[in-house]
Amino acid sequence: MSRDSTKKVQPIGLDIGTSTVKAMTDHGRRVIFPSVYCKRLVKTTWDAREKQSEEVIFEGVGQEAIELAKHNDAIVIRPIIEGTIKHEVAVKLVQEAYRRLDVKNPASVVLVTGLPYDVSVKSINYLEQLLGESLGKPLQMAIYPQSFGTLIECGLESATIINIGHSTTGLLLVEDLTVLGGGTEPKATDYVVEQVRNNIIKDYGLIPSTETTRDLIISKEIKVGDAVITNKVDSIYDGHTVVTRKDIEPALTNAVDFLCEKIAFDITELHAQLPTMNLGCVKNIILGGGFSALQNPYSGEYLVRDSLEAKLKRPLTYPDDPLFSEASGYYKMATELAGT
């Protein structure tokens, strides 16, 4: 690749999750938005944006999709389930990421992204085909097992990576940058949220939404640029009953403890299958994913981190930004591929 053509190359790290899309490109530019697509067919003039039309199709991605979804005639699609593409509108999520990253020429993009460790070759080929045909074939594209980006972001070549996502927890064993094994634990953030929500319904008679329950658990505003990932919620109230963040602490602690116990058991099982325990992937354990940074808002205790360290009986390694660690690691890999 010549010096002139290298200047035009745009490396991109892309992490498409069940809950959010995270992407990063040059000069630290990064974006995040919900992994949601919505389509609405408007058949009356009362709510049409164009009065001259009797039938208008509205589409939205991310936060706009969430707003459209408030209408009862809307079709909502989450195209990514457990890290795998389940619907072709997933390409609209990538198109939105490209738009926000100000991609002028898709043919100049060096794209690195990931899929779960245990996906089929068919899924990998489908992703390559879908992105190439819908966005314009990138200059280069590489697909790695999810969690590999977090390994690179932490500056390690050998580790066991635990990535707590929205609906699943990804596990990956890497030794000298070679993947030895991995798997998927079907309990993650949404398991904890659902357990706490069930407790609120049973003990207090309130029926909060999943999103409100999650915000109450996290109990602080999290923003990336102008995007609000979680709202600060200290309590929920239905007119006569109040449930505070302190009220849910016992149920939350129990749910987190069970999740960490299951993850620790899975890690022990994966390590037991190795020919020797004297490996870097056994000695180094990385914990990533946005939920891994969950704190008690009163004591500052890291609930997930402390619980897992106690169960695994060793200190863990944490990326500086667990929410963006995958996208950031992929971006570093894209930069290497691009030679920039």
Which residues constitute the domain of residue 222? Answer: 156-318
For residues 99 and 4, state if they share a domain: yes
Q: What is the pLDDT of residues 194-243, one digit of tens each?
A: 999 999 999 999 999 998 999 999 988 877 777 777 788 999 998 889 99
| CATH number for position 336 | 3.30.420.40
Nearest to 314 by CA among 292, 282, 290, 288: 282
The arithmetic mean of pLDDT across residues 76-102, rounded, is: 79
The arithmetic mean of pLDDT across residues 164-182, rounded, is: 93
Q: What is the pLDDT of residues 276-309, one digit of tens each?
A: 888 999 999 999 998 999 999 989 999 999 999 9
For residues 244 and 189, state if they share a domain: yes
Final residue belonging to a domain, choices 77, 102, 136: 77
pLDDT higher than 90, residue 62: no
For residues 309 and 177, state if they share a domain: yes
pLDDT higher than 50, residue 4: no
d(CA 126, CA 90): 12
For residues 287 and 205, state if they share a domain: yes
pLDDT higher than 50, residue 329: yes
For residues 18 and 141, state if they share a domain: yes
For residues 47 and 122, state if they share a domain: no
> What mean pLDDT, rounded, does the chain reach?
87
For residues 145 and 99, state if they share a domain: yes
For residues 41 and 142, state if they share a domain: no
Percent of the chain whose pLDDT exceeds 90: 51
Q: What is the pLDDT of residues 5-51, one digit of tens each?
A: 445 899 999 998 888 889 999 988 999 998 888 888 776 655 555 55
> Are β-strands 109-115 and 10-16 bridged in parallel, bridged antiparallel, or unpaired?
parallel
Q: What is the pLDDT of residues 131-156, one digit of tens each?
A: 777 777 888 999 999 999 999 999 99
For residues 191 and 241, state if they share a domain: yes
Q: 260-278: buried (b, 16+ CB within 10 Å) or exposed (e) per residue?
A: bebbbebbeebbeeeeeee
d(CA 170, CA 116): 7
For residues 86 and 150, state if they share a domain: yes
Number of domains within the chain: 3
For residues 191 and 278, state if they share a domain: yes
For residues 172 and 280, state if they share a domain: yes
